[in-house]
Amino acid sequence: MNPKYPNLLSPGQIGNVTLRNKTVMAAMGMSQSDNGFVNKAVLNHYAARANGGVGAIIVEVTCVDTPLGLNTNGMLVIDDDKYIPGMTQLADVIHKGGAKAFLQISHTGRGARRKIIGEQPVGPSAVAMPYSFMMGLANETPRALTVDEIHEIEEKYAQAALRAKKAGFDGVEIHSVGYYLGQQFLSSTANTRTDEYGGSRRNRVRFHLNIITRIRELCGNDFAVIVKLSVVEQGKDGGISIPDGIYYSKQFQKAGVDAIEVLAGKWSEESGKREKPESAYPDCMAVPLCQVVKAGLLLTAGKKSVKLIGGGRAQNPEKAEKALATGKCDFIFIGHALLAEPLLVRLIDEGREDEIRPCIGCGHCINNQLQHGERAICSGNAVLARGENNYTLTPAEIKKKVVVIGGGVAGVEAARIAALRGHTVDIYEASGETGGQINLACKPPFKDHFTLLKPYLERQLELTGVNVHLGKQLTKNEVLAMNADAVVCATGSKPVMLRIEGSDRAVFAKDILAGAPAGKNVVVIGGGSTGCETAEFLGKQGKKVTVIEMSEVVAGNTGKTAQTILLGHLKGYGVKILTGCRAEKITQTEVVCKNKSGSGFSVKADTVVLSIGERPDSTLFDELKDIHPEVYNIGDSNGGEILPNAVYEGYTVGNRI
């Protein structure tokens, strides 16, 4: 055991379940089941984390009531005995890896979408879900559940818990966070009922207490029960106050719940400059809430003390250790960090913290599911929810000399994987540093965690023995002279030039992010994610910024959560956004534009910034593809567009060589 983290790495107890350490993998949906059934991808996903050293795994959100309770088409399901065999396999692979297994049981309630469930969603009351920072979508008004229907759903939760026990799980977690039905019953804004299930804290918590009581009847006291609870949900007109959250926690403790995973919920479209995206979340951000709950629980007499699980961006072991050592919480939950790095806890235990692949908080894991209806993806971990999540690399049958051209994320991943498989790899980067687009992506405000990726890439090149050559722009003839068996082109992209009068007076967004000076009045032409982040970058400096965008949507290629926060920042910095407008001419003092009705206007500009897209720079690949026997094109030079695609292409090619 790493002596730096004696509390984090020592055993702990949740109910009658002993964990090998005090780390708990939080439940995170992957949307990779086969119509609700456990498959090879699900098994491999959780086996990798169990083998990676985590103390317990809370398996992702699992539906207790189809179709009404479904969240995505790939959601796991436990509302019928036919799912037990697969769940048994899942519990077995988790136990085989040395971790304890809990199943998160849930109903999506008003958070469900008609296109998934095929009918109107249901909820405690006929109150539509507001914008959710988890989901990024507003839903239609739900149908209020009848009391009889509530009783049926309570029983479905309890029967789901019984199936989990039969499958070999050590316990269950009742999901009461975010846009799920559990939180909806506890929230005064979502639950406006006036019967025994609403109108007061005592009534709003009845749904949970009935479920907990019934689970105990069916599963006994040896089966652990956890509640994942939003201790506070701050909405415009109420929600869940801190006193509410403490009251609910006390009721759960009295009912015999073994642990509470403590989080916060929030609904707000008017975030201004206050709200931070996940890429800037502080470490262990939810731990202070555990302190609040613990203080409230200490006032309650009782033989049994419920354990509190705290976390929130808890991939920093020093912060996690301190939280435990000071008694702020009893266990640490780790979420997205374990998606990015399955071996996280083992690497901490072995003192290899510098090898941990970081979560940068990009949000693609959530966005790809909820906005695009697909499986989760990751900007660091190419394997996450791809295919069958096969984390095993096959040694190359023929060892080759490999040349990788381009030191961005795609190039480094290709070089890393090829080297791990036994090839001799040289990587060439035209600039003086590796990292590619990451070096600029971390420049806008609130991109703090993007800076963590570059040291990881550099360390991986060092560990795998890749020969790194910086400041070297290769030509076709130079590549051919190397007599490499395989060549990987990862040469990136170039900004698209705007073909209008005066465009030679403009600078590119990349130049601004790299440190080029800008005047007081700035016009950004192009309102995609890069254009808006550049406007945010300049707005924070006190510049007067106007964004010109041809479409009616700005930052449309950004995840919904990050998009909403970004637009709030732009509003807070006074950035003016003009949609449905086209730049016609750039002069020394202004940008001449036309709106969608054809009317002309001009915007004062000391500096004009172009951000209308990127085009793949595949020149070298095009020169080599017909004359070299094995050449690949990956990343932005292949039109990769987003970071997860780049890392996946690098991983795939590294395995193919």
Calpha distance 390→475 (Å, rounded): 36
Residue 84 three-state SS: helix
Active-site amino acid positions: 180
Calpha distance 148→127 (Å, rounded): 19
Calpha distance 546→609 (Å, rounded): 10
Kindly state the tokens that stand for 116.
């998934």
Beta carbons within 8 Å of 15's beta carbon, 6+ residues apart: 171, 221, 222, 223, 224, 225, 258, 259
38 and 87 in contact (C-beta within 8 Å)?
A: yes
* Cα three-residue angle 234-236-241, rounded to 5 degrees: 30
Calpha distance 316→474 (Å, rounded): 39
Beta carbons within 8 Å of 527's beta carbon, 6+ residues apart: 547, 548, 549, 551, 553, 554, 555, 577, 579
173 and 106 in contact (C-beta within 8 Å)?
A: no
Residue 93 three-state SS: helix
Q: Give the ranges where 134-187 is alpha helix by DSSP (H).
A: 147-166, 181-186
414 and 464 in contact (C-beta within 8 Å)?
A: no
Kindly state the tokens that stand for 359.
């979560």
80 and 156 in contact (C-beta within 8 Å)?
A: no
Strands 100-106 and 171-176: parallel
Which is nearest to 608 in space by CA: 540, 535, 528? Answer: 535
* Cα three-residue angle 637-642-648, rounded to 5 degrees: 80
Bridge partners, residue 403, by sequence: 426, 487
DSSP string for residues in 233-299: EEETTEEE-HHHHHHHHHHHHHTT--EEEEEEEE--S--TTT---GGGPPTTTTHHHHHHHHHHHTT
Calpha distance 456→468 (Å, rounded): 15
Kindly list the distances between the CA atom of residue 563 and the CA atoms of 133, 530, 560, in Å, as whole numbers in the listed order: 10, 12, 5
Kindly list the distances between the CA atom of residue 450 and the CA atoms of 104, 387, 435, 460, in Å, as whole numbers in the listed order: 30, 26, 11, 17
Calpha distance 480→449 (Å, rounded): 39
Inter-axis angle of helices 147-166 and 84-96, nearest 10: 50
Calpha distance 413→466 (Å, rounded): 11
Return the number of other C-beta atoms located less than 10 Å from residue 147's C-beta. Answer: 11
DSSP state of 473: P
